Amino acid sequence: MRLELKELNYKYPGSVGDVFRQLNCQVTEPGFHALFGPSGVGKTTLAKMIVGDIRGFAGEINLQRIHQVLYTYNLERIPGWCCIREHLESSTPQSNRQRLEDLVDSFGLQPCLNSRFSQLSLGQQNRTNLARYLLQDFDLLIMDESLANVDEITKEKIILKIKSLFPQRCFLYISHNVVEVSKFCKQILVLRSHYRAPQAVSLQGQNFNGQRVLKEKDLEQSMLEIVNAL
């Protein structure tokens, strides 16, 4: 499994400045990885390029043994004319139905199942939407602030559940939270302004999976490396 971004150059139509200039980075193994950087640096743009929603760029995006790429984002909406249970059941392939109740329990969605999407809090909406994507078939799932508005305890439980259920899948987690990406992610791609070379820096996170004690000094070191790379 390999995601390689090679010599990417892109600017928005009608814009003078570049978003990416000779951007190079790669993810070479399954796991929970991060795309991190300040607002406006191009994280969502890059995600949409990978999934194929943005074209017209120079350079290459190479996917090896990655056939199905999905992209989910914060505040994404789902149809509101049926209850959550009906929507999840109808949108889940038969081969993945055994995973449904497990995700509902782990994501704390049981109280939401008889409600419509519009009746949920923002955190409940994001958890529901993420569960919907995890019930599909995918090789790479890009999560763009997908756990925003979710409390820290629930967020950790969800991330650890994802890591345990999908050890052979690839995740690209976009977040502004330096603690999250340092703690949970295996590889951290720090995206910087195109004025800086290289525009993407690859760092190693702590890849916490709940099965070992995470030393505070190790977490602080990862956070420091991320901040210094910006």
Q: What is the pLDDT of residues 51-76, one digit of tens each?
A: 999 999 999 999 999 999 999 999 89
pLDDT digits (tens, 9 = 90+) for 66-117: 999 999 999 898 877 789 999 999 999 999 999 999 999 999 999 999 999 9
User: Is the Cα torsion angle 135, 177, 140, 118 positive or negative in sign?
Assistant: positive
Specify the pLDDT at position 11.
Answer: 93
**Residue 52 CB-density burial (10 A; 0-12 exposed, 13-18 middle, 19+ buried):** exposed
Chain segment 149-187, per-residue pLDDT in tens: 999 999 999 999 999 999 999 999 999 899 999 999 999
d(CA 146, CA 75): 8
CA proximity to 19, closest of 197, 194, 198: 194
Model pLDDT for residues 9-52, shown as the tens digit of each residue: 999 988 888 999 999 999 999 999 999 999 989 999 999 999 99
CA-based nearest residue to 70, from 11, 1, 17, 135 = 135
Domains detected in the chain: 2-229 (3.40.50.300)
Segment 118-133 mean pLDDT:
95
Mean pLDDT taken over the chain: 95
Burial class (CB in 10 A: 0-12, 13-18, 19+), 64: exposed
pTM for the complete prediction? 0.95
Q: Pairing between strand 58-64 and 2-10?
A: antiparallel
Q: Write down the residue that tokens 């390999």 correspond to.
A: 2
